[in-house]
Amino acid sequence: DQQVKQNSPSLSVQEGRISILNCDYTNSMFDYFLWYKKYPAEGPTFLISISSIKDKNEDGRFTVFLNKSAKHLSLHIVPSQPGDSAVYFCAARRKGAQKLVFGQGTRLTINP
């Protein structure tokens, strides 16, 4: 039972354009969402998060949008840069729970 789903295993975007990574979830009890970025041979690094009481959070080139009615969140990267090429994981936490539930990951490739 995959409670957090990233349906696109890979995404290719041209440098300078917008990258949009999507994530869907099924558990309405999730109240905090995070995005992690992972380079090969390294551990995931935290990128940006959003609480369920908000619908948008922005940090520089990265913006996360949350649509609770659709149980959908997305990560926008503008403008995309070659260093953004990595695997991106979305994750969700249920209030009071001590674990993150991760999606399968999306491999983003930024082409020059």
Name the phi and psi angles at 14, rounded to 5: -80, 145
Q: Does 25 bind another protein (CB under 8 A)?
A: no
Cα–Cα distance for residue pair 112/109, rounded to 1 Å: 10
CA-based end-to-end distance of the chain: 38
- Kindly state the tokens that stand for 15: 């440098």
Token readout for 9 is 């295993």
Q: In the bound complex, what is the minimum distance in angstroms from residue 17's beta carbon to another protein?
A: 26
3-class state of residue 82 by DSSP: helix
Contacts of 101 (CB under 8 A, 6+ apart): 3, 4, 27, 30, 91, 92, 93, 94
Binding another protein by CB under 8 A: which of 10, 15, 17, 46? 46
- Residues 78 to 107 in contact with another protein, rule: CB under 8 A: 89, 91, 93, 98-100, 102-105
The interface with another protein within residues 26-45 (CB under 8 A) comprises 32, 34, 36, 41-45
Which residue number, 11 or 100, has a Cβ lying nearer to another protein?
Answer: 100
Rounded least distance, CB 112 to another protein, Å: 28
Answer yes or no whether residue 49 interacts with another protein by CB under 8 A.
Answer: yes
| Contacts to another protein by CB under 8 A | 4, 6, 32, 34, 36, 41-46, 49, 51, 89, 91, 93, 98-100, 102-105
